[in-house]
Amino acid sequence: MSRVCFTLQVDPSRLEEYRARHAAVWPEMLAALRDAGWRDYTLHLREDGLLVGVLVTDGFAAAQAAMERTDVNRRWQAEMAHFFPQLADGRADRGMHVLDKVFNLEAHLALRLPNISSVQLKRRVGIRGGRRRVGLVGVCRGGRFVPDL
């Protein structure tokens, strides 16, 4: 399971309308996201239109592919396209800029605090942008990180 963070740019002249649309997301769209593996999904909007999305999923590419196969997502993307004029096809689901994680508090605390008894650290291995990404893999025991080789 991994947490994914992405950005998009919403047309700054349409922020209130964008907020209103997300206050009333179609029930079938909510169900499709859930069924496709999008969990703990949140959107955060800055006053200049910067949109930051965060979700937890077992596999982002698979979750995106599952949504791509749904009719409700095609309809939602078509109705939302005018909020993203800078995207060639207006499809926000295809224009997400995924960010690299550079810090995780729990992982750092597990490595540095001597009073942590046993925290299982998650495996983070994947390919993104043609580069292999490997994160912390192992167990923290007694405040010391033990690599899982």
Query: Which residues pair with residue 44 across a beta bridge?
Result: 52
Q: Is 44 a catalytic residue?
A: no
What token pair was written down for 36? 């496709």
Kind plus residue range of the DSSP H or E element containing 36: none
Could you say which of 22, 44, 82, 108 is catalytic? 22
**In angstroms, rounded to a whole number, what is the distance separating the alpha carbons of residues 146 and 9?**
41
Q: How many CB atoms lie within 10 A of CB 16?
A: 8
Which residue, 61, 63, 56, is CA-closest to 32?
A: 63
- The DSSP output letter for 123 is P
Q: Are 90 and 36 in contact (CB under 8 A)?
A: no
Indicate which residues carry an active-site annotation: 22
